[in-house]
Amino acid sequence: MLLVAWTALPVGAAQTTVVVLAPTAADDRIDPSSTAIAFWNDRLAELGVETALSDPEVVIDSPVARALENYARQVATRSVGLPGGSYEPAPPAALTNLEGDIIVLLSRQDIMSFTWPMPQVSPPRYFVVIRAVRGPYRNDPMVSRHVVAHELGHALGLKHNAEPHTLMCGPCQPLTAEPDATGFLPLTDRDRARLRDLHGPRIR
């Protein structure tokens, strides 16, 4: 089943398309993913940059999900700290054939969530994997939306920072962190400056 939802982008904004693959329609990470995308669009609009994320095209129980899960495991096993590049094996056709600038897999696996620039793919596209959460934080939309927002931040070009109570923290201290007025952990001034540098002013 394919569920599609689109909203109008800010005038002059370049659309970055997002595809979300979920194992079931009841997956509790789908709504937090949409909330995280809305958060980023609000921040990008505030910064006046030319990029905006589309509402996600949500694909339920895709026939290519198994191939993507296998690739996610391969990447996670190698080390998500390694950059993509010509020395990395090309992503499977099941992934590159999907039409989207950012492919988000709501994984069935309990592996580390990560964002991976697809090697040997031009123009750049990103594979984002969101782990299946186990334990006390399972089904917590606050946790899920922060994880998705953090990984989308990487896809937008942000790196980890040393501030443990910010969205792009690495390492983080989530138990003592408090969201700001947006409902999310804050961005740093450096994060905002980098987004402006990377995405440029909106064309009007």
Q: What is the pLDDT of residues 141-187, one digit of tens each?
A: 788 999 999 999 999 999 999 998 999 998 887 767 788 999 999 99
pLDDT at position 3 is: 26
pLDDT at position 9 is: 37
pLDDT at position 104 is: 98
Of the pLDDT bands very low, low, confident and very high (cuts 50, 70, 90), residue 6 is very low
Cα–Cα distance for residue pair 132/176, rounded to 1 Å:
23
Cα–Cα distance for residue pair 152/126, rounded to 1 Å:
9
Residue 56's alpha-carbon distances to 13, 32, 89, 181, 187, in angstroms, are 16, 11, 27, 24, 23
Other C-beta atoms lying within 10 Å of the C-beta of residue 177 = 16
Integer-rounded Cα Rg, in Å, for the chain is 16
Cα–Cα distance for residue pair 146/52, rounded to 1 Å:
18
